[in-house]
Amino acid sequence: MMPHPPDMRIALYQPDIPQNTGTILRLAACFGVPLDIIEPTGFIWNDHRLKRAGLDYRDLADVTRHRSWTAFLAGRQPGRLILLTTAAELPHHRFVFEKDDILLFGRESVGAPPEVHAASDVRLRIPMRPPARSLNLAVAAALVVGEALRQCDGFGEGFP
Protein backbone atom coordinates (compact mmCIF):
# COMPACT_ATOMS: atom_id res chain seq x y z
CA MET A 1 0.00 0.00 0.00
CA MET A 2 1.33 3.43 -0.97
CA PRO A 3 1.73 5.90 1.88
CA HIS A 4 -0.54 8.90 1.87
CA PRO A 5 1.73 11.91 1.59
CA PRO A 6 0.72 15.40 2.59
CA ASP A 7 -1.50 17.25 0.13
CA MET A 8 1.57 19.26 -0.86
CA ARG A 9 2.09 20.02 -4.56
CA ILE A 10 4.98 20.98 -6.81
CA ALA A 11 4.28 23.55 -9.53
CA LEU A 12 6.60 24.45 -12.41
CA TYR A 13 6.01 27.79 -14.09
CA GLN A 14 6.76 27.50 -17.83
CA PRO A 15 9.73 25.14 -17.51
CA ASP A 16 12.37 25.46 -20.26
CA ILE A 17 14.44 22.30 -19.98
CA PRO A 18 12.81 18.89 -20.55
CA GLN A 19 15.46 16.99 -18.59
CA ASN A 20 14.74 19.05 -15.46
CA THR A 21 11.00 18.56 -15.84
CA GLY A 22 11.50 14.81 -16.34
CA THR A 23 13.67 14.61 -13.22
CA ILE A 24 11.10 16.57 -11.18
CA LEU A 25 8.36 14.32 -12.56
CA ARG A 26 10.32 11.37 -11.21
CA LEU A 27 10.78 13.14 -7.86
CA ALA A 28 7.01 13.74 -7.70
CA ALA A 29 6.28 10.09 -8.50
CA CYS A 30 8.73 8.72 -5.93
CA PHE A 31 7.41 10.91 -3.11
CA GLY A 32 3.73 10.85 -4.11
CA VAL A 33 3.55 14.63 -4.52
CA PRO A 34 1.30 15.89 -7.36
CA LEU A 35 2.99 18.01 -10.04
CA ASP A 36 1.44 21.00 -11.81
CA ILE A 37 2.97 22.09 -15.12
CA ILE A 38 2.07 25.67 -16.03
CA GLU A 39 2.39 26.09 -19.79
CA PRO A 40 3.68 27.02 -22.22
CA THR A 41 6.80 24.93 -21.79
CA GLY A 42 10.04 25.41 -23.69
CA PHE A 43 9.71 21.91 -25.18
CA ILE A 44 7.16 19.54 -26.67
CA TRP A 45 5.50 17.40 -23.97
CA ASN A 46 6.54 14.13 -25.63
CA ASP A 47 10.17 15.25 -26.01
CA HIS A 48 12.56 12.27 -25.86
CA ARG A 49 14.73 14.11 -23.27
CA LEU A 50 11.72 14.45 -20.97
CA LYS A 51 10.95 10.76 -21.38
CA ARG A 52 14.56 9.77 -20.76
CA ALA A 53 14.85 11.81 -17.55
CA GLY A 54 11.44 10.66 -16.28
CA LEU A 55 12.02 7.03 -17.26
CA ASP A 56 8.99 4.87 -16.53
CA TYR A 57 7.93 7.10 -13.63
CA ARG A 58 5.80 9.25 -15.93
CA ASP A 59 2.87 6.85 -15.46
CA LEU A 60 3.35 6.84 -11.67
CA ALA A 61 3.27 10.63 -11.33
CA ASP A 62 0.11 12.65 -10.73
CA VAL A 63 0.63 15.42 -13.30
CA THR A 64 -1.77 18.22 -14.16
CA ARG A 65 -1.00 20.46 -17.12
CA HIS A 66 -2.40 24.01 -17.12
CA ARG A 67 -2.63 25.99 -20.36
CA SER A 68 -1.57 29.23 -18.71
CA TRP A 69 -0.84 31.00 -15.44
CA THR A 70 -4.45 32.23 -15.44
CA ALA A 71 -5.76 28.67 -15.87
CA PHE A 72 -3.51 27.46 -13.03
CA LEU A 73 -4.83 30.17 -10.69
CA ALA A 74 -8.44 29.43 -11.66
CA GLY A 75 -8.09 25.73 -10.82
CA ARG A 76 -5.58 26.09 -8.02
CA GLN A 77 -5.80 23.71 -5.09
CA PRO A 78 -6.15 25.18 -1.58
CA GLY A 79 -2.97 26.02 0.27
CA ARG A 80 -0.31 28.67 0.33
CA LEU A 81 1.56 29.42 -2.89
CA ILE A 82 5.26 29.29 -1.97
CA LEU A 83 7.55 30.74 -4.66
CA LEU A 84 11.20 29.73 -4.65
CA THR A 85 13.22 32.63 -6.00
CA THR A 86 16.70 34.08 -5.76
CA ALA A 87 14.98 37.45 -5.10
CA ALA A 88 13.60 36.37 -1.69
CA GLU A 89 15.07 37.25 1.68
CA LEU A 90 13.75 34.32 3.77
CA PRO A 91 15.76 31.08 3.44
CA HIS A 92 13.74 27.89 2.96
CA HIS A 93 15.25 26.12 5.98
CA ARG A 94 13.97 28.84 8.33
CA PHE A 95 10.42 28.58 7.06
CA VAL A 96 7.66 26.40 8.56
CA PHE A 97 5.98 24.46 5.76
CA GLU A 98 2.39 23.25 5.93
CA LYS A 99 1.06 20.03 4.45
CA ASP A 100 -1.01 21.73 1.75
CA ASP A 101 1.63 24.17 0.48
CA ILE A 102 2.14 24.51 -3.26
CA LEU A 103 5.87 24.75 -3.96
CA LEU A 104 6.27 26.89 -7.08
CA PHE A 105 9.45 27.06 -9.16
CA GLY A 106 10.05 29.55 -11.98
CA ARG A 107 11.61 29.12 -15.39
CA GLU A 108 15.23 28.01 -15.55
CA SER A 109 16.15 30.87 -17.89
CA VAL A 110 14.46 33.87 -16.27
CA GLY A 111 12.70 32.79 -13.07
CA ALA A 112 9.18 34.03 -12.41
CA PRO A 113 7.64 37.27 -13.72
CA PRO A 114 6.24 40.02 -11.45
CA GLU A 115 2.64 38.73 -11.63
CA VAL A 116 3.78 35.35 -10.24
CA HIS A 117 5.70 37.06 -7.44
CA ALA A 118 2.62 39.19 -6.66
CA ALA A 119 0.31 36.15 -6.50
CA SER A 120 2.60 34.22 -4.15
CA ASP A 121 1.80 34.06 -0.46
CA VAL A 122 5.45 33.56 0.50
CA ARG A 123 8.76 33.87 -1.32
CA LEU A 124 11.72 31.75 -0.24
CA ARG A 125 15.30 31.35 -1.36
CA ILE A 126 17.81 28.57 -1.06
CA PRO A 127 20.87 29.97 0.69
CA MET A 128 24.21 29.49 -1.03
CA ARG A 129 27.59 31.04 -0.77
CA PRO A 130 28.61 33.85 -3.10
CA PRO A 131 29.23 34.22 -5.95
CA ALA A 132 26.86 31.30 -6.72
CA ARG A 133 23.45 32.50 -7.94
CA SER A 134 21.24 29.46 -8.26
CA LEU A 135 21.03 25.68 -8.33
CA ASN A 136 19.80 23.49 -11.14
CA LEU A 137 15.98 23.49 -11.05
CA ALA A 138 15.66 19.76 -10.36
CA VAL A 139 18.25 19.95 -7.56
CA ALA A 140 16.47 22.96 -6.04
CA ALA A 141 13.12 21.17 -6.19
CA ALA A 142 14.53 18.06 -4.54
CA LEU A 143 16.13 20.09 -1.75
CA VAL A 144 13.01 22.09 -0.93
CA VAL A 145 10.49 19.29 -1.41
CA GLY A 146 12.59 17.05 0.84
CA GLU A 147 12.69 19.67 3.59
CA ALA A 148 8.98 20.44 3.28
CA LEU A 149 8.04 16.75 3.44
CA ARG A 150 10.38 16.20 6.39
CA GLN A 151 8.71 19.00 8.32
CA CYS A 152 5.20 17.75 7.48
CA ASP A 153 5.89 14.08 8.24
CA GLY A 154 5.63 13.27 4.56
CA PHE A 155 8.04 10.37 5.01
CA GLY A 156 5.81 8.70 7.55
CA GLU A 157 4.24 5.28 7.51
CA GLY A 158 4.68 3.38 4.26
CA PHE A 159 8.12 4.75 3.45
CA PRO A 160 10.82 2.22 4.33
How confident is the model over 107-127, as pLDDT tens digits? 999 999 999 999 999 999 999
CB-CB contact of 146 with 140 (8 Å): no
Residue 84, pLDDT score: 98
Q: What domains sit in the chain, N to C, each tagged with a CATH number? A: 9-151 (3.40.1280.10)
For the cut 90, the answer to whether the pLDDT of residue 59 exceeds it is: no
How confident is the model over 64-98, as pLDDT tens digits? 999 999 999 999 988 999 999 999 999 999 999 99
Q: What is the pTM for the complete model shown? A: 0.91
**Amino acid identity at 112:** A
3-class DSSP state for residue 111? strand
Residue 46, pLDDT score: 76
101 DSSP β-pair partners: none
CB half-sphere exposure, 151, CA atoms < 13 A: 17
